[in-house]
C-alpha cells in the first residue's frame, strides 16, 4: 500500500471555478500535512500546511484535514490559469521526521 496517494489527473477546471485536490495517507500516526505546488521544470513550493482537523484558509486556498478518514484536501477558489501546475500532498509523523510525498495531481485551469 502506497503511503500517500493522490489522483494523478490531469484535473481540468475552467477559469474561475473551484479546483478540488484530494489526498489519502496510510499512517494514522501522521501529524503534519503539507501541500506543495510544482511548476514544470521547477522545484516544489510550499503553499499550505495543516495539522489540526478542520479547515485552514489562506487567500484562495483552503486545506481540509480529516484524521479519522485519513484524508486531506486542497480547494482552490477562483482558479486562474497561473494555478496550472502539479500539486503535491506531503505527510510527516512529527516535526523531526521525514516528509513523505504523494505522486502529485496535475491541474490545468482552462481560460
Q: Which residues bind another protein (CB under 8 A)?
A: 31-32, 34, 36, 42-46, 49, 51, 88, 92, 94-104
Q: In the numeric block, which cell numbers belong to residue 78?
A: 477562483
Taking the CA atoms of 82, 72, 99 and 89 in sequence, report the sign of the dihedral they define.
Answer: negative
Least distance (Å) from another protein to the CB of residue 68?
19
Least distance (Å) from another protein to the CB of residue 37?
11
**Comparison of 20 and 32: residue with beta carbon closer to another protein:** 32
Task: Tell how far CA 48 is from the center of its chain.
Answer: 8
Least distance (Å) from another protein to the CB of residue 18?
24
CA 38/CA 86 separation, integer angstroms:
5
| CB atoms inside a 10 Å sphere around CB 20 | 15
**Comparison of 2 and 14: residue with beta carbon closer to another protein:** 2
Amino acid at each position: 500500500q502506497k503511503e500517500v496517494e493522490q489522483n494523478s489527473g490531469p484535473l481540468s477546471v475552467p477559469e474561475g471555478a473551484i479546483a478540488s485536490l484530494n489526498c489519502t495517507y496510510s499512517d494514522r500516526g501522521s501529524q503534519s500535512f503539507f501541500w506543495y505546488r510544482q511548476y514544470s521544470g521547477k522545484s516544489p513550493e510550499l503553499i499550505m500546511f495543516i495539522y489540526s482537523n478542520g479547515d485552514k484558509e489562506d487567500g484562495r486556498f483552503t486545506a481540509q484535514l480529516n484524521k479519522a478518514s485519513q484524508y486531506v484536501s486542497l480547494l482552490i477558489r477562483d482558479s486562474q490559469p497561473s494555478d496550472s501546475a502539479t500539486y503535491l500532498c506531503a505527510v510527516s509523523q512529527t516535526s523531526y521526521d521525514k516528509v513523505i510525498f504523494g505522486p502529485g495531481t496535475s491541474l490545468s485551469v482552462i481560460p
